Structure 1
Amino acid sequence: MLIAKELCKSYDQYMIINDVNLRINKGEMVAIMGPSGAGKTTLLYLLSSLEKPDSGFVEIDGIDLSKLQGKTLAEFRNKKVGFVFQFHNLLPEFTLFENICIPGYIGGCAKKEVEKKANELLCLLGIDHRNNHLPSEISGGERQRAAVARALINSPSIVFADEPSGSLDLKNASMLHEVFLHLCKSFKQTFVFVTHNQSLAAIADRICTLQDGVIQSP
Structure 2
Amino acid sequence: MLVAKQVCKSYHGYKILKQIDLSIHMGEMVAIMGPSGAGKTTLLHLLSTLERPDSGLLTLDGVDLIGLKGPALSTFRNKKIGFVFQFHNLLPEFTLFENICMPGYIGAFSKKEVVEKANHLLDLLGISHRKNHLPEAVSGGERQRAAMARALINDPSIVFADEPSGNLDSKNGEMLHALFLDLSKRLKQTFVLVTHNQSLATIVDKILLLEDGILQPA
2: distance between equivalents of 1:20 and 1:66? 15
List alignment gaps of at least 5 residues for structure 1. none
Q: Which residue is equivalent to 1:44?
A: 44
1: distance between equivalents of 2:108 and 2:36? 39
C-alpha root-mean-square deviation of aligned residues, in Å? 0.7
Query: Is the aligned partner of 1:161 residue 2:166?
Result: no
Q: Which residue is equivalent to 1:77?
A: 77
Q: Which residue is equivalent to 2:150?
A: 150
Q: What secondary structure, in the 3-state scheme, does the structure 1 residue paired with 2:182 have?
A: helix
Deviation at 1:217, TM superposition (A): 1.8
Q: Which residue is equivalent to 1:215?
A: 215
Give the percent of matched residue pairs that are identical in Structure 1 and Structure 2: 70
Deviation at 1:132, TM superposition (A): 0.2
Matches within 5 A, 1:118-157: 118-157=118-157
Give the number of equivalent residue pairs.
218
2: distance between equivalents of 1:176 and 1:206? 18
Deviation at 1:178, TM superposition (A): 1.1
Matches within 5 A, 1:195-210: 195-210=195-210
> After superposition, what is the alpha-carbon deviation per residue over 1:164-208, rounded to whole angstroms, capped at 9, x for unaligned?
000100111111111100111111100000000011121100111
Letter in structure 2 aligned against 1:172: N
Q: What secondary structure, in the 3-state scheme, does the structure 1 residue paired with 2:89 have?
A: coil
2: distance between equivalents of 1:198 and 1:129? 32
List alignment gaps of at least 5 residues for structure 2. none
Structure 1 residue runs of 4 or more that deviate by more than 4 Å after TM superposition: none
TM-score where L is the length of structure 2: 0.99
TM-score where L is the length of structure 1: 0.99
2: distance between equivalents of 1:153 and 1:44? 21
> After superposition, what is the alpha-carbon deviation per residue over 1:16-59, rounded to whole angstroms, capped at 9, x for unaligned?
01100000000001000000000000000000000000001210
Q: Which residue is equivalent to 1:31?
A: 31
2: distance between equivalents of 1:77 and 1:121? 20
2: distance between equivalents of 1:100 and 1:108? 14
